[in-house]
Amino acid sequence: NAGVTQTPKFRVLKTGQSMTLLCAQDMNHEYMYWYRQDPGMGLRLIHYSVGEGTTAKGEVPDGYNVSRLKKQNFLLGLESAAPSQTSVYFCASSYQTADTGELFFGEGSRLTVL
């Protein structure tokens, strides 16, 4: 039972490069989220999706884009990476029909922008 899987787990970019982080969940969850984690700041919501084909901005969306073409996948894109985007990125998902409140997290993707 894989749960939430993120790829890649590690990546180093140069300023201005682009990349995409992939999140896949096999729990048939409607809701999916991208957070970034920085020391002393906890987790901050970048974007989220309440279903296939829908996306919405979170607290820190600037510099990121997302897509939810398939229910099980949620992609996070950086079009022109900046050093301020060096962080650990977490994807999460949750139920729609049963509002248990819980989010299920992937293991994270560590991104370094030089």
Partner 1 sequence: AQSVTQLGSHVSVSEGALVLLRCNYSSSVPPYLFWYVQYPNQGLQLLLKYTTGATLVKGINGFEAEFKKSETSFHLTKPSAHMSDAAEYFCAVRKPNTGRRALTFGSGTRLQVQP
Task: Please tell me whether residue 114 binds partner 1 under the rule CB under 8 A.
Answer: no
The one-letter amino acid at 105? F
Task: Please tell me whether residue 44 binds partner 1 under the rule CB under 8 A.
Answer: yes
Distance of alpha carbon 74 from alpha carbon 92, whole angstroms: 10
Task: Please tell me whether residue 71 binds partner 1 under the rule CB under 8 A.
Answer: no
Task: Please tell me whether residue 106 binds partner 1 under the rule CB under 8 A.
Answer: yes
Whether 114 contacts 83, CB under 8 Å: yes
Choices 16-24, 65-73, 78-86, 105-113; region in contact with partner 1 by CB under 8 A: 105-113
Q: Shortest CA distance to 6 belongs to which of 75, 61, 54?
A: 75
Choice from 12, 41, 82, 114 touching partner 1 (CB under 8 A): 41
